[in-house]
């Protein structure tokens, strides 16, 4: 079982560069989300999606874009990287819908991003 797969695991960027963090899940989960983890701040929601073609903003969406063209994939794009976006990024997924809101999310192992 692959679960949630994130690539790359590590990345160093220069300020102003763009890149895409990849996330794929093989559990047929409708709900997918991106979080960033910073020391002392826990996990903060960036964007989320409840199904293909549907995305919405979380707590800290500025500087990030997402799209959801398939159920399996939910890439996160940094259009112009800034040092403040240095963080560890986690993708997560679960079954969507009110009846499943009590279901736990499955997390990838993260992408460690450093922006110089």
Q: List interacting residues with another protein (CB under 8 A).
A: 4, 31, 33, 35, 40-45, 48, 50, 56, 58, 90, 92, 94, 96-98, 100-102, 104-110
CA angle, 58 then 24 then 52, to 5°: 60
Q: How far is the CB of 17 from another protein (least distance, A)?
A: 24
When the beta carbons of 13 and 92 are compared against another protein, the nearer one is: 92
Specify the DSSP class assigned to residue 75. -
Q: How far is the CB of 91 from another protein (least distance, A)?
A: 8
Q: How far is the CB of 50 from another protein (least distance, A)?
A: 6
**How far is residue 98 from each of residues 3, 9, 102, 107, 110, measured CA to CA in Å?**
22, 32, 8, 20, 27
């Amino acid at each position: 079982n692959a679960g949630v797969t994130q690539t790359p695991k590590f990345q160093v960027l220069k300020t102003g560069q763009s890149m895409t963090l990849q996330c794929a899940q093989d559990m047929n989960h409708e709900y997918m989300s991106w979080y960033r983890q910073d020391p002392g701040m826990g996990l903060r929601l960036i964007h989320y999606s409840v199904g293909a073609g549907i995305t919405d903003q979380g707590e800290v969406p500025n500087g990030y874009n997402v799209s959801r063209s398939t159920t399996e994939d939910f890439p996160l794009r940094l259009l112009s990287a800034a040092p403040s976006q240095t963080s560890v990024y986690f993708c997560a997924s679960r079954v969507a819908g009110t009846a499943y809101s009590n279901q736990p999310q499955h997390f990838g192992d993260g992408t460690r991003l450093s922006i110089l």
